[in-house]
Chains A and B, each alone.
Chain A
Amino acid sequence: MLANANRLTPYLFLLPAVAVMVVALLYPIGYMIWASFLDWNPSQRIGEADFVGLRNYFNLLGDAAFHESLWVTVKFAVLVVGIEMVLGVGLALLLDRELRGMTLLRTVFILPMMIAPIVVGLIWRYMYHPTVGTFNRILDSLGLPTAPWLSDGDWAFASVVIADIWQWTPFIFILSLAALQSLPKSAMEAARIDGATGWQLIWHIKIPLMMPVLIVTCLLRLIDAFKVLEVVLVLTNGGPGLSTEILALRISRTASEFRELGYAAAMSNVLLILLLILTLAMFLYTKITEARAARVRAAIEEG
């Protein structure tokens, strides 16, 4: 009896967390999945909406605006994460040394990450302002032609990308720096004695050893970039045209402006599936590395 109770104790402690998960996560997701099969507008209660099966999903297949949004989102995510990885890792490699004032410098570098996304959007909107914005005033004072930062489709996309890079490069920077500083010092020294130059040290030793951290960081950032909303909402609200209308924005507009809750739910599910694939990729990666580590341990115990 007592043994039985002991076995159940851990689950008892897990119960509150499970309850919260069910209410806060599983219920809304279930709700969303159900809603995606309905033709539902906000004036109806969910029970009154018509069941339409997979029609919302079929409509998505032929919806050019949705395709455009999806493409903008993928383009955005791949571009920002790619540039952020290069910049973040590069900065970490540069700043991984003991210099006076380095602690302060590192703190300054990670400031953008601490600012609320809405505020980031506002700051950049003012800086991008066509007449009083920082950038155009600088260009103007140098006698250069000013740029249509937010009013031209291509420029607007670039502006959003720049703002996101500004905000999220620090994330990659601090994780890379932590990874760098935990690398075995003596392996680096051995490489120097073996004749490696600074660049060779980075290519042959540092980057390969940081790789596990870099892969996870990259996936985390990708997941985040696919869900980006606030900065774009404040900066461009998706425009001009559909040039910066990322998926999250399209979903929110479908629900609030077009009043098609079922259709918005179907889009959300597509986004969810995309993110699930990324998350699964991350889990798969950790599983593979763990399995390799286990094989290594087994090999050592044998030998």
Chain B
Amino acid sequence: MTGRDGGEAGLPRITFDKVEKSYGSTLVLPPLDLTLEDGEFTVLVGPSGCGKSTTLRILAGLETLSGGEIYFDDRPIGKLEPKERDIAMVFQDYALYPHMNIARNMSFALRLARAPKSRIDSEVNRVAEMLNIAHLLDRKPAELSGGQRQRVAMGRALVRDAGTFLFDEPLSNLDAKLRAKMRTELAEMRDTIDKNMVYVTHDQVEAMTLGDRIVVMNAGMIQQQGTAEELFANPVNRFVAGFIGSPSMNFLAGEITADRVQGQGFDLPLPPGLAERAGARAVEVGIRPSSIVLEGGAPIQLRVIVSEYLGAQSVLVTRCGNVDVLAEIASVDRIPSGQTRDFGVRTEEIMLFDRATGARI
């Protein structure tokens, strides 16, 4: 019905070409270039107000472009109505139609397209089976729990059989346990359903677990894009380093002297080459909580403020000079609060950032 062959061949490559958005004289999205390969699960991630939702809504056609163009393969779509873009969308608040039962919610698009009744029924039933919501088809949205509504919203998008799926923070209204469960199901769906998927979230855990490609945004700008591993191992700047990874990276102000970096309460050797690249300048030293160990590594003295026991791992909130430093260590012994003791830092994992620009050195 949609006129696509199915499979990768039918999915468009989505290109943002200097896409811009402003409200009146306020520029909310400076020119943005981005290419999403066909069949990819792309996650736009960033703090609230970073422009990720606006980007998604522009792609959906719910917001107009103030400049630039979006291409599906070579076809410009920036002026098309949402319905002409072959997209389906899952909203943060699910956006179900309150007056229709679940079956009618899911079949709305097909009914508008005047699809034959037999096809509507079979599609709705197929998707409802897949998402385990077949027993809810007669109910109204108000009679469902949050998790069930979430599934229905997914189901409504899936029934569409559109080429591109857009997700606008679909899990953020769920409680933590349900969110983890739905995240797993989404990851499963990603592998079984061959579609373009663009997913917006502020939660870096969702981004890391779901995205083939993660696009980190801040203040309307793309900071970096890549796989979860690339972003974690090789952040290009302080923002990405601090945003990706949980608990997040520690930053300490320091100065480079010869092949060491020093600051309040620490004096650490640097791996070969890094000090030369940095030269003599003011830096921020980035140390991941997981780079701090109890045995071995370059010595550093930290005062333990709080010990958060999480089971196999503990997160220690410690203080170095007057800066809080998080350390993630195996819970071998309970480390009492208030104690100052020696820790080790795996120096090969230390990152340096320019203190003025935030760029990775």
Residues of A within 8 A of B (CB): 184, 186-187, 189-196, 200, 204-205, 208-209, 211, 293, 296, 299-300, 303
Number of A-B contacts (CB under 8 A): 75
Q: Which residues of B contact A204 (CB under 8 A)?
A: 97, 108, 112
Q: Does B252 contact A (CB under 8 A)?
A: no
Residues of B within 8 A of A (CB): 60-62, 81-83, 87-89, 91-99, 108-109, 112-113, 139-140, 142-145, 148, 156, 160
Q: Which residues of A contact B99 (CB under 8 A)?
A: 208-209, 211
Between-chain CB contacts (< 8 Å), 9 pairs: A189-B89, A190-B89, A192-B62, A193-B62, A194-B83, A194-B108, A208-B99, A209-B99, A303-B145
**Contact of A296 with B95 at beta-carbon distance under 8 Å, contacts A194-B112, A194-B160, A196-B112 already known:** no
Q: Which residues of A contact B81 (CB under 8 A)?
A: 192
Q: Which residues of B contact A187 (CB under 8 A)?
A: 95-98
Contact A193 B87 (CB under 8 A): yes
Q: Which residues of B contact A299 (CB under 8 A)?
A: 139, 143
Q: Report the minimum CB–CB distance from B211 to chain A (whole Å).
A: 22
Contact A184 B112 (CB under 8 A): no
Contact B98 A300 (CB under 8 A): no
Q: Report the minimum CB–CB distance from B83 to chain A (whole Å).
A: 4
Main secondary structure, interface of B, reads: loop
Q: Which residues of A contact B113 (CB under 8 A)?
A: 195
CA distance A189 to B142 in the complex (A): 19
Out of A192, A195, A205, A303, name the residue touching B97 (CB < 8 Å). Answer: A205
Q: Which residues of A contact B97 (CB under 8 A)?
A: 187, 190-191, 204-205
Other than the given A187-B96, A187-B98, A209-B99, 6 more pairs (CB < 8 A) read: A184-B98, A192-B62, A196-B112, A204-B97, A300-B142, A303-B145
Contact A184 B95 (CB under 8 A): yes
Q: Which residues of A contact B60 (CB under 8 A)?
A: 189, 193
Q: Which residues of A contact B144 (CB under 8 A)?
A: 300, 303
Q: Report the minimum CB–CB distance from A57 to chain B (whole Å).
A: 44
CA distance A300 to B136 in the complex (A): 12
Q: Report the minimum CB–CB distance from B115 to chain A (whole Å).
A: 11
Q: Which residues of A contact B112 (CB under 8 A)?
A: 194-196, 200, 204
**Contact of A193 with B145 at beta-carbon distance under 8 Å, contacts A186-B91, A187-B97, A204-B108 already known:** no
